[in-house]
Amino acid sequence: MGLSTSVLLIIVLAPLVGCLLAGFLSPFLGRAGRTAAHSLTIAGMVVSVVLSFHVLYQLALGGAENYNQNIYTWFQIGHINASVGFMVDRLTAMMLVVVGFVSLVVHLYTIGYMRDDPGYTRFFSYISLFTFSMFMLVMSNNFMQLFFGWEAVGLVSYLLIGFWYKRPTAIFANLKAFMVNRVGDFGFLLGIAAVLTFLHTLDYAAAFNAAPTLIGQHLQITANTQWDAATVISILLFIGAMGKSAQVPLHVWLPDSMEGPTPISALIHAATMVTAGIFMVARMSPLFELSSTALSFVLVIGATTALFTGLIGIVQNDIKRVIAYSTLSQLGYMTVALGVSMYSGAVFHLMTHAFFKALLFLGAGSVIIAMHHEQDMRYMGGLRKYMPITWITMWAGSFALVAVPFTSGFYSKDAIIEAVGESHRWGAHYAYFCVMAGVLVTGLYTFRQMYLTFHGKERFKVIEQHGHADEHHELPPGVLAHPPKESPWVVTVPLVALAIPSLLIGYLTIGPLLYGNWFGGSIHVKQTNDVLAALAPHFHGAMAMGWEGFTGLPFWLMVAAFVICTYVYVFNPSMADRIKNALKPLWAVLDRKYWVDEVEYALFASGGVKMGRLFWKFSDAGAIDGVAVNGSVRMVHRTAALLRRLQTGYLYHYAFAMIVGVIVLFGGYRLFGN
């Protein structure tokens, strides 16, 4: 039995309908508009999620065939066809379930988080639009639609980062995010053009079938330079992934994207959109497998991201920024997995990460509500007794993040580390060091964050005010008008709903996903590159892997991080500042984020504006208009002024000219004649 087109269409269109109704109808309904907005969008999401699970069930257990059909022709020129169509296999189905589930949970959470926001209906409209775009991206069966989804999620990300459009920082961050992503898209679009040039199609299936013909083909760069076609295509496509999945040096937009409301930090900037790059590379595995150069490039970029962005997370004080840098670092792990041809491992980590990172963000959001929109951890502490559900679920998410054995993060991350150790690709040694050191770093920033937020002494003061509920915005940092309290059920239920898969999903799925060839033909790995096949003999089930985890180096690095943080933040709080002072230069490097932002801003933003001024003043207004255009006009004026002298209208001028003329003529005749 095959999948039905109408079911797939409903999955995609239900969020879009929800978005349109919430966006265009709710504003005209007055007070009822708010209820209408969240009911309609959530109804759409429920439909999508239920059907997504149905699709997954059919593909995984129901024996359904993979779906690959065009819905309508977007354009057809000669044999070049661009269509809107769906390719749904197990990889897509898994993405649908993850995206749909997290999105639904976030929709629900938003009811509580955005309760008092004037942009309530707009927010629901945006997140449903995002879900639609993301579905279009993961369900695409061709490069055109992939690019559509790619840019559409970028648009929604832009709108949501700048959701609070009165904040100067928010509208700076959203412009920055869009621009940096566009740098990636620049490469991505060129990659798509290269695919069309060499493989003569935009359709996935046709392109993958034709992929082996790339071997031996070259791109003529200059008369004497040729580049391998597969390498060029893969690297160009990967540049797109570097933008969307925030890999060094295009990572700078993600921490700033935290200006957006917390629910979208969870949905877009942690769980789903930023993993689009990882998904895309996994989908394109038949192309990437043809170039080990490109994969080494992927590996080195990923490893660098994994370690160095994690380090920055250690010195952050904003609770959301810590998680943002953690997201960067985890995306680096996924990219490393791609780089060693372990595509299924990358997608596996993508899935587990989606759950535990969404959980951490939503938990942080819950803390932020309780702290009346204070995000600085230096004014928190001791919150565990005020908000036990948030506290426990956040610990669950943190355990998964630092890879405590048996949690889902443990299975996905340890598998990646082992695979890197097994790989012989150029750059694998460097990557192995980075991902291993990254474990210690992950532990440091995670435990530090948990201690600063939930444990230790309270570093905020509560001033009870009566009847002045709205005045707490003007209070100095660290002073609250009401004591913090646990968030309402619309916030805590999503936390619990995410905590369960964060702990269990890895244990349940590692066997089939990594070692059971669950993805089948969706992911293509060359036999010589297959690190998972090499590791498979050592895998004796999830239970055994969990127990073995206690003896591995990553576990002890994590324990080391735990001991350090516990000592520093629980037993000896003054220690943190002393360490900071002792390592001042290092701290400065991390605090300034290696000055990457400054350099890129000076080079591209300020540099671009300066270049524009130069072009405009000197060339457009100067050379063309000033000299050529207005210069010609002046020339005409001057010539005319000269010629005008000849026609003064005075008789004696003419008589004089005649006499001179006669003399010259006769004189000339006398001198030169004959």
Site string for another protein, 218-257 (x = CB under 8 A): -xxx------------------------------------
Which member of 570, 628, 655, 665 binds another protein (CB under 8 A)?
Answer: 628
Contacts for 215 with CB less than 8 Å, ≥ 6 apart: 230, 290
* Terminal Cα-to-Cα distance of the chain (whole angstroms): 111
Q: Which stretch in 35-43, 177-185, 399-407, 417-425 sits in contact with another protein by CB under 8 A?
A: 177-185
Span 131-150, contacts to another protein by CB under 8 A: 144, 147-148
Contacts for 34 with CB less than 8 Å, ≥ 6 apart: 26, 120, 121
CB of 477 to another protein, least distance (A): 22
| Closer Cβ to another protein, 7 or 171, answer by number | 171
What is the distance between the alpha carbons of residues 514 and 512, in angstroms, rounded to a whole number? 6
What is the distance between the alpha carbons of residues 113 and 117, in angstroms, rounded to a whole number? 9
Indicate whether 74 belongs to the interface with another protein (CB under 8 A). Answer: yes
CB of 260 to another protein, least distance (A): 13
**Among 505, 439, 403, residue whose Cα is nearest residue 101:** 505
Which member of 7, 71, 171, 479 binds another protein (CB under 8 A)?
Answer: 171
What is the distance between the alpha carbons of residues 257 and 394, in angstroms, rounded to a whole number? 22
H-state helical runs in 466-552? 489-510, 531-535, 542-549
Alpha-carbon torsion angle 428, 441, 306, 158, nearest 10: 180
| Closer Cβ to another protein, 482 or 613, answer by number | 613
Q: Which stretch in 156-164, 372-380, 539-547, 587-595 sits in contact with another protein by CB under 8 A?
A: 156-164
Which member of 608, 631, 661, 667 binds another protein (CB under 8 A)?
Answer: 608
CA 79 vs. chain centroid, Å, equals: 34
CB of 153 to another protein, least distance (A): 11
Indicate whether 77 belongs to the interface with another protein (CB under 8 A). Answer: yes
Burial of 215: CB neighbours in 10 Å, binned 0-12, 13-18, 19+: exposed
Which member of 28, 75, 571, 650 binds another protein (CB under 8 A)?
Answer: 75
Span 251-310, contacts to another protein by CB under 8 A: none
CB of 150 to another protein, least distance (A): 8
Q: Count the site residues for another protein by CB under 8 A.
A: 53
What is the distance between the alpha carbons of residues 207 and 234, in angstroms, rounded to a whole number? 13
What is the distance between the alpha carbons of residues 362 and 384, in angstroms, rounded to a whole number? 16
| Closer Cβ to another protein, 209 or 619, answer by number | 619
What is the distance between the alpha carbons of residues 387 and 495, in angstroms, rounded to a whole number? 12
Q: Which stretch in 376-384, 589-597, 618-626, 640-648 sits in contact with another protein by CB under 8 A?
A: 618-626
Which member of 6, 30, 61, 166 binds another protein (CB under 8 A)?
Answer: 166
Contact at 8 Å (CB) between 565 and 448? yes
Indicate whether 168 belongs to the interface with another protein (CB under 8 A). Answer: yes
What is the distance between the alpha carbons of residues 406 and 662, in angstroms, rounded to a whole number? 115
Element (H, E) at 84: strand 80-88
Q: Which tokens is 95 given? A: 């993405």
The alpha-carbon radius of gyration of the chain (Å, integer) is 31
Indicate whether 80 belongs to the interface with another protein (CB under 8 A). Answer: yes
Which member of 378, 625, 653, 669 binds another protein (CB under 8 A)?
Answer: 625
Span 190-219, contacts to another protein by CB under 8 A: 190, 192-194, 196-197, 219
Q: What is the contact surface with another protein in residues (CB under 8 A)? A: 72-80, 144, 147-148, 151-152, 155, 158-159, 162, 165-166, 168, 171-172, 175, 178-179, 182-183, 185-186, 189-190, 192-194, 196-197, 219-221, 608-609, 611-613, 615-616, 619-620, 624-625, 628-629
